[in-house]
Structure 1
Amino acid sequence: MNNEELLKIMSEWNFWGKERLKLGIERECYIERIIKLLSSVKVVAISGIRRAGKSFIARQVLNRLIENGVKLEDTLIIRLDDERLINLNYELLLKIYNLYLTYVKKDKSRPTYLVLDEAQEVEGWERFVRGLEERCEAKIIVTGSSAKLLSSEFTTLLSGRHVEVRVTPLSFREVLEFKGIKIKGVLEFAENIDSIKREFVEMINYGGFPDVVLNPEVRAELIHSYFDTIIVKDVVNRYKLRREEKIRTLAKFYISSSASKITYNSVSKFLKIPVKTVERYSEYLEKSFLVFFLKNYSISPKAIENSPRKVYVIDNGFLKYFSTASLGRAFETLVVQHLYRYALKRFYELYYWSSEDSEIDVVIKSGKKILPIQITYELNNENEERELKSLKKFKKYASYDSSLVVTFEQEREVEGIKVLPAYKFLLSPEDVLDSLIR
């Protein structure tokens, strides 16, 4: 590929090209956070599952910087997932960057705001980023759909001079915003309550991938495409696996088991896969961000590691098309996904707790502070005593000041315990949880 052809492709990626870039619907919480981080660090790594919106968020950040005074020619987007690029390697990265410096960049004294999109597609991208960082030439946003983006090698290479921002599919508030429903206060909430409840049920069923939310007529095709791409590109190809059917089987098993306890031994026996293979493949699926695991809370680190884990899928769309999960498990999965986002943002730890006949669905740990949360579609005569009994039993094991029960639509207080409807809680989980974790 000659220089002219490469420059033409580069112009299509960038704000300084002829074509107007698609920005999508802004996700303000990520934009503000990344811009704030770039004022303090030189490299921000945006990681997360494929199709969650990482590339759009990176563009939105650059667009906001341009609106705030950064020159068009001081921005550069390099899209490494462009199928027209051949011989993807370190040398190609250098060539693209040097073409930009030669033909676009006017004032070399000003820093460049660089987006390296889908970085994991190129071997050697880490050295490229480190070189720019050391020469203080650029503020860099790196995006990728693999935890390899923050591997120990990369962390060592940048010596702690980067920060990760994990992007997940849309939160419930973002889903409403994508549908044109903005809730700024009590009045807007009351006016839109029917739409809020309807969209909440939709999210339980179909999840929050941006394109799935915006294009409901093709959501089945989109979810199946996402699953296939994650399995092939982020697992099979990346880890050079020879038996694709085994990892597919395990992925579908974990999706269908969302909100359930598992052990590697039990999975091994059920799927007839060696335990070591189950353990290794589980790590690959977690690093692709398809699933995440919660460990059983204990004051003993050894007990934590040796206990069963609860598995959750990252988005309910996969539940719809790859499982027969009950409404209760789909509901719990959606709430825990939001708690997972909250814990990531606050750097808190997330567990469950199980002991004999008692279980707490989620335990949030912040230093010495602990918040137990029960998630049940409905509190009724059959389960209320059991749910509250578990909270009381847990209090004898681990001291806590507050607790929370999340249901579909009940709101009250039972024996000093706050009960909230999920559609209200998930609109502002940070406000509720921050007030309880003090």
Structure 2
Amino acid sequence: MKKTLKRLIVDFQERTLPERVPRDLEFPLDSHKIISLIGVRRAGKTSVLQHAITQLRNTIDSRRIVYLNFEDDRLDSLGIDDLVFILEAYYELYPDQRQEKTYWFFDEIQNIQSWEKFIRRMHDTEKSQIFITGSSAKLLSSELATSLRGRTIAYEIFPFSFTEYLRYHDIRINLHSSDSCSWIKHHFEHYLRHGGFAECFEQSDDLERRILRDYLDLIVYRDIIDRFGVTNRALLKHLIKYLFANPATLVSFNKLYNDFRSQGFKLSRDTLADYFSYLNDAYAAFSIPIFRDSIQEEQRNPKKVYIIDNGYKRLYDAFTNQDLGKLLENLVFLHLRRQTRDIYYVKQQYEVDFFALGNLYNVSVTLEKPETRHREIRALEEAMTSLKLKQSFLLTSDHEETISAATGTIHVRPVWKWLCGG
């Protein structure tokens, strides 16, 4: 095993890394903490790591940088007791580096059972800066926080945001330029329907669907079925189909349980809740609760469900062009989720889509119909009064204005512009 590890270490150190599109994520390259990067499969965690390695190579000897990907089939037999061979292999290669600070990048480390014990010991005993990635929210769990006892800072990585997507396509963001805004709106139409997985950019529809199907199979089999020992695969796949075809939807698990039973599935309410939690652990689907003062009230009400990327909806719904409202709302959720986990919907007499970061947000494709405009404004006014807020946001496909209401100011903005900071 040490021979294999030595080869992997040296081969990577000799590699010229490809140029990467910078992501809107900053984390320290030198700290007293273990840096954890967590997110759905194929969101770009490896690319982010390699961009950080490229930055380090500009300032330090590349021999002080070690990268290992635990999804490499040559490491399949590696167990917790074998991880010590990593250090032995490195110091046998470079005995003169024992007194130097070394930078360790461990990709998809959750594949090694009880890996955190090794990382904790390494952090405590070696002169090292450690970076780890994983395709599981379990890396953010209370168990990890306990096992690493405050040694780690976690950063989440999602598929490309809209601004990152524009950067990939070399589109300059200047909201005061008509030319720039035209290009931004042009690219937004594609991003809205196809999502932010970089490998899918500039692919044909057929190839894009095949890529996304492969990604989803990885999530289902590697991150859920294998990890959690799921036995009712048909139920899991049916749940995924339902959620991915219906993002931005209120879901009552009691109603879902009854619906699935009526379709012939054998399940319990606990099983259904468990399967959804597995999808959340794998960063495939999310839910937000109603805003209430008590947790009990939150639990008694339906949750709104969203998915990790708009592109996945196209796998299950051939009519996404007729469902722009859900796609827009899912994009707004993802933009907010990149900034905070504390997101709610508000419902009193009327419903507001999001309450997050101290602001209210409603999403509507258009305000052309008077009844739609009245409904959206009325809901925001009610919530602004209840929450004592002086402003809110009404996000649309392409309408912009400022509404002075009795309760405060409602900023009407196109989603594409809002995503660009306008």
TM-score using structure 1 length: 0.89
Residues 59-208 of structure 1 aligned to structure 2 (within 5 Å): 59-67=50-58, 69-104=59-94, 106-183=96-173, 185-186=174-175, 189-208=177-196
Determine if the alignment matches structure 1 residue 394 to structure 2 residue 388. Answer: no
Instruction: Quote the offset at 1:39 in angstroms.
Output: 3.4
CA distance in 1, matches of 2:202, 2:87: 35
Moved more, 86-95 or 133-142: 86-95
Instruction: Specify the code of the residue in structure 1 equivalent to 2:56.
Output: L
CA distance in 1, matches of 2:187, 2:139: 34
CA distance in 1, matches of 2:95, 2:418: 47
Instruction: Quote the offset at 1:242 in angstroms.
Output: 1.5
CA distance in 2, matches of 1:392, 1:310: 21
Instruction: Quote the offset at 1:139 in angstroms.
Output: 0.8
Residues 190-339 of structure 1 aligned to structure 2 (within 5 Å): 190-216=178-204, 218-272=207-261, 273-323=267-317, 324-325=319-320, 326-339=323-336
Instruction: Quote the offset at 1:342 in angstroms.
Output: 2.1
Instruction: Quote the offset at 1:106 in angstroms.
Output: 3.2
CA distance in 1, matches of 2:50, 2:115: 19
Aligned residue in 2 for 1:435: none
Unaligned runs of 5+ in 1: 433-438
Aligned with 2:35 (options 30, 34, 44): 44
TM-score using structure 2 length: 0.92
Instruction: Quote the offset at 1:269 in angstroms.
Output: 1.0
CA distance in 1, matches of 2:108, 2:256: 32
Unaligned runs of 5+ in 2: 262-266
Identity over aligned pairs, percent: 26
Report SS of the residue matched to 2:35.
Answer: strand
Instruction: Quote the offset at 1:26 in angstroms.
Output: 2.4
Moved more, 416-425 or 298-307: 298-307
Instruction: Quote the offset at 1:190 in angstroms.
Output: 2.7
The number of residues matched between the two structures is 408
Report SS of the residue matched to 1:342.
Answer: coil
Aligned residue in 2 for 1:343: 340
Q: Deviations over 1:176-219 (max 9, x none)?
A: 11112132x445x4322222112111111100011112545621
CA distance in 2, matches of 1:4, 1:107: 19
CA distance in 2, matches of 1:76, 1:23: 19
8 Å contact from structure 2 (residues 292, 298) kept in 1: yes
Report SS of the residue matched to 1:127.
Answer: helix
Instruction: Specify the code of the residue in structure 2 equivalent to 1:199.
Output: H
Instruction: Specify the code of the residue in structure 2 equivalent to 1:150.
Output: L
Structure 1 pair 425–64 and aligned structure 2 pair: CA distance change class (3 A): same
Aligned residue in 2 for 1:24: 20
Instruction: Quote the offset at 1:221 in angstroms.
Output: 1.0
Q: Deviations over 1:354-376 (max 9, x none)?
A: 224x11010114xxxx3111111
Structure 1 pair 105–427 and aligned structure 2 pair: CA distance change class (3 A): farther
8 Å contact from structure 1 (residues 88, 121) kept in 2: no
Moved over 6 A (4+): none
8 Å contact from structure 1 (residues 207, 315) kept in 2: yes
CA distance in 2, matches of 1:190, 1:180: 17
Instruction: Quote the offset at 1:250 in angstroms.
Output: 0.8
CA distance in 2, matches of 1:337, 1:215: 23
Residues 4-19 of structure 1 aligned to structure 2 (within 5 Å): 4-12=3-11, 14=12, 16-17=13-14, 19=15
Instruction: Specify the code of the residue in structure 1 equivalent to 2:333.
Output: V
Report SS of the residue matched to 1:58.
Answer: helix
Report SS of the residue matched to 2:339.
Answer: helix
